Copies of this chain bind each other. A is one copy, B any other.
Amino acid sequence: MAILSGIHPVAEALRAKRPLERILVAQGAGGPRMQEIIDMARRAAVPVRFEPRGALDRLAGSAAHQGVVAMGAANKYADFEAVVSSQLAALPLIVVLDGVEDPHNLGAIIRTAHAAGAGAMIIPERRAAGVTDVVAKAAAGALEYLPITRVTNINRALEELKEKGYWIYGLDERGTETYDQADYAAPTAFVLGGEGKGLHEQVRKHCDVLVRIPMAGKISSLNVSVAAGVVLFEWKRRVAARAMGPAESTTTIRA
């Protein structure tokens, strides 16, 4: 069972009408944002119980729950086939993570991908962070809106995305084009490597285009969530520019 904790994640889960089994509020906790959670829970017929703070500490695995813990939801992960199915193939952007291990980074990337307009995220089952409470917190509510699918084999997932018509872009320092020069074809799948390791050899070979971020200074890489922000918001900017008309899109893309 997934445990959500903290005012923001629980409020977002309620707003997104995510199925919750129960909400626990620490005895003595209050304030307008807590009251809003209690009101939303009542309207959604989610039972609210007031419990000693220690009970919430144990459930949340820490004392950083701000007085509220939610228990839910049946399934944290979306079905891969559903995500790439014809119905969802209209998604312009899927973000694929090749082994991001730090839960704060995973959460920040989920938040960033949602804000850049991604329709789904694909993560591997092994050697990677899964969707935990820490991830949900770092995602600041975005986990409620961005479907995450977990696959046993990233390379096979990329093959299936290609078959569905996705163009696979990988971020890699050996990229032949810079991220702002690439001509982003839609639908796009963007593959990002893990912390300090970049893309795995096999994953890199499955990419249609490798792009790199040109760096000033003496450090060769960015934090993976910062790199995600740089490339995904460039993708967003370019899609917006293209929507404004072909002439502009051409000058912007080829500038």
Contacts and interface: CB of A to CB of B under 8 A. Distances in A.
B255 A115 contact: no
A145 B213 contact: no
A219 B117 contact: no
A241 B229 contact: no
A180 B216 contact: no
Contact of A229 (B111, B138, B222): B222
Interface string A192-222: 0000000000000000000001111111011
Interface of A: 12, 15-16, 104, 108, 111-112, 114-117, 138, 140-142, 144-146, 180, 213-219, 221-223, 225-230, 233-234, 236-237, 240-241, 244, 248, 251-252, 255
Nearest to A215: B115
A115 B217 CA distance: 5
Contact of A142 (B217, B244, B248, B255): B217
Contacts of A230: 229-230, 233
A179 to B, nearest CB: 9
A217 B240 CA distance: 14
Nearest to A226: B229
